[in-house]
Structures are given as C-alpha cells and as structure tokens.
C-alpha cells in the first residue's frame, strides 16, 4: 500500500524551515506536517543512532534527523546483538495497540481443556488462507491454542466481506455463524452494535495488509496460514521471549 512515507523517504524534507534553537520534537513535527497536515505523530524519541529520532505514526516507525531535513525508512540492525531494533519497536507498538481490543470484542475459539497459548488473528471471511486456517480449528484447540479473531475485511468498510463479518458478529452463535460463513454459507445481513469497523482500523494501525495475520504474544507477526504444529512452535518461542524480557526488567 502506497503512502506518503514511501514518497517522502526518497528525498529531503525541504520545507522544514526552523530556528536552530527549536526543540527536535517541534522541528520534526513541523517537518512532517509540511508533508501531510493531517499526519498523527504518536511519539518522538531518540533513536539508537546519534542525530536520528525515532518517530512512531499509526502502523509505522520511521527515523528523522534532528534538523527535520531528512527522513529514513528502514530497519536499524544492532550488529553485535544481531537484533532488528526497528522490528523490536514495532512489536512493542503492536502489543500496546492490541490492548484496545479486549477479549470481549473478539470471536474466540477456546480449547476445551487448558489454555496454553493465545493468539490474535486478523481474518477475512472470504480469504482462502483464512478458511484453510479455520478448517484446522479443532487441531489448534487440541494443542491448547486459543484463537481470537479480529475482523479485517480486506475490501474495506461497506464491502460484502464487511457485511458478512457484521452478520457473523451479530449472530447469537458467533462461533457457529463464523464457521458456516468461512465454509461458504452466506450469514445474511443482520446488524447490531459491533466492533468490525474499529477492528479494521486497528488492523491498519498495526500495518496489516493481508489475511490471515497472526499477532503473537511478543508482538511479532506470522503472516499467512501456518499449520497447528508450526503455530505451536512459534508460540512457545514467542512466550519464552516475553518471559526473558520480563526477567530482564526485574
């Protein structure tokens, strides 16, 4: 998906005319506003590289020089530690954003026994790989994996896929309605107060461009269909990383 960042990243933010005594935050905000007056800047903080500032906007992390002249889009790699610091930051942002959609606003397929793992899945009813993933729901659940669906109708708000998502959500049996819809049965046009549009917008903030997109407990993503075995392995590794990070902060 093209956006103003892809255009801006190739050139100089020439219109940022600021005084040398201005704070970097003010300089950078002014520069970005000169590119897009409607841009929402969520946070500005010093980047790991001297002279660069990390800027978070909905769904993205970019870097801007303190004087507001240059914008860099790409990853910062910590060579000694072999860490992608940019992706690490994106993962942190995803975890924070997902908290905006509590379990009460998700269609959840819960294991009958112990819940060992939980994973949020952005899904589209008409997506082939989403349907393939859903066919194996019993196998995910048998491994103790709880699948928590958030709707991301790729065709957008008001589309036929959006209608099906709303109708499934508004059904008295959400799990049953969604399962039938993913099997090709039209769920109808029932409506009610629902979180589908906000979930679609949340997916955009997280940088979701395709479905299914699985967001793991550590904030990293697994795009596309993954088998029950593959997902279990990814979840075990993700949760180990979360535990290790928690130990560091003690």
Q: From the candidates 106, 131, 154, 163, which is the catalytic residue? A: 154
Check if 170 is active-site.
Answer: no
Check if 130 is active-site.
Answer: yes
Please check whether residue 236 is in contact with residue 245, taking contact to mean a CB–CB distance below 8 angstroms.
no
Q: From the candidates 124, 131, 170, 234, which is the catalytic residue? A: 124
Do you find a cis peptide bond into 212, omega within 30 degrees of 0? yes
Q: From the candidates 29, 89, 94, 130, which is the catalytic residue? A: 130
| Terminal Cα distance for the chain, rounded | 40
As annotated, the active-site residues are 124, 127, 130, 154
């Amino acid at each position: 998906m093209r956006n103003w960042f892809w255009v801006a990243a190739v050139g100089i933010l020439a219109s940022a005319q600021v005084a040398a005594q201005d704070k970097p935050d003010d300089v950078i905000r002014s520069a970005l506003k000169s590119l897009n007056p409607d841009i929402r800047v969520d946070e500005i903080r010093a980047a790991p590289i001297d002279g660069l500032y990390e800027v978070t906007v909905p769904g993205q992390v970019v870097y801007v020089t303190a004087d507001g002249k240059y914008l860099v889009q790409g990853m910062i790699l910590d060579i000694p530690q072999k860490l992608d610091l940019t992706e690490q930051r994106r993962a942190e942002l995803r975890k924070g954003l997902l908290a905006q959609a509590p379990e009460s606003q998700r269609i959840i397929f819960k294991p009958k026994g112990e819940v060992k793992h939980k994973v949020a899945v952005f899904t589209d009813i008409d997506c082939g790989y989403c349907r393939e993933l859903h066919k194996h729901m019993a196998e995910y659940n048998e491994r103790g994996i709880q699948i928590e669906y958030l709707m991301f109708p790729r065709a957008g708000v008001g589309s036929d896929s959006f209608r099906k998502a709303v109708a499934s959500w508004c059904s008295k049996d959400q799990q049953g309605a969604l399962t039938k819809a993913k099997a090709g049965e039209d769920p109808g046009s029932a409506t009610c107060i629902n979180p589908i549009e906000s979930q679609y917008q949340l997916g955009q903030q997280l940088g979701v461009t395709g479905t299914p997109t699985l967001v793991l407990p550590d904030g990293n993503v697994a795009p596309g269909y993954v088998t029950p075995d593959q997902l279990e392995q990814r979840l075990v590794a993700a949760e180990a990383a979360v535990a290790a990070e928690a130990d560091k902060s003690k």
